[in-house]
Amino acid sequence: FEALRTALAGRTDVKVVGDRFVLGSDVLFGSCSAALSEAGKLELDKIAGVLLDIKDDIPADVEWVLRVEGHADAVPLGAACSQRFSSNLDLSAKRAVSVAEYLRTKNVPAKRLMATGLGAEWPIVAGYTATALAQNRRIEFKLDAR
């Protein structure tokens, strides 16, 4: 965790909140989409690079995973979005899977990735302002013991 924190220090697009790294979904995805944007892929390339650099430093007997958690805001899906996703939970889950799948293509071992969608149930900011909603749409990463 400290190696990731050090490598990502000073970046404005990745925030450290407790033991998690938070990347806003608006950086990674377009509205009502689980397809990664080109800018999002560039951000994930940096995270994958750091993970690949540190994975060999983790003792072989330590079973670890990178939890990739998708979060949504609390605004119900609009009509067009509801045709693609059944709920904010569905959208957040598919976004988390997209991130994990992309990291896998960058040689992060699949057995080290765990994708979860948490919908709008765990906001980090209260309220319905544009800023609050944007902060709640996010992907969180956490290195954890398996």
Q: Is the pLDDT of residue 6 over 70?
A: no
pLDDT of residue 7: 59
Q: What is the 3-state secondary structure (H, E, C) of 41-86?
A: HHHHHHHHHHHHHHHCCCCCCCCEEEEEEEECCCCCCCHHHHCCCC
Tell me which residue range forms the domain holding 8: 2-145
Q: Is the pLDDT of residue 1 over 60?
A: no
pLDDT of residue 4: 61
Is 128:13 a contact under the CB 8 Å cutoff?
Answer: no
Q: Which of 73, 68, 89, 42 is nearest to 139 (CA)?
A: 68
Q: Is the pLDDT of residue 17 over 80?
A: no
pLDDT of residue 5: 60
Orientation of helix 38-55 relative to helix 88-105, angle to 10°: 60
Q: Is the pLDDT of residue 145 over 90?
A: no
Q: 99 falls in which pLDDT band (50, 70, 90)?
A: very high
pLDDT of residue 74: 96
What would the pLDDT profile of 48-92 be if each residue is shown by its tens digit?
998 888 877 777 788 889 999 999 999 999 999 999 999 999 999
Question: What CATH number corresponds to the domain at position 16?
Answer: 3.30.1330.60
Provide the number of structural domains found in the chain.
Answer: 1
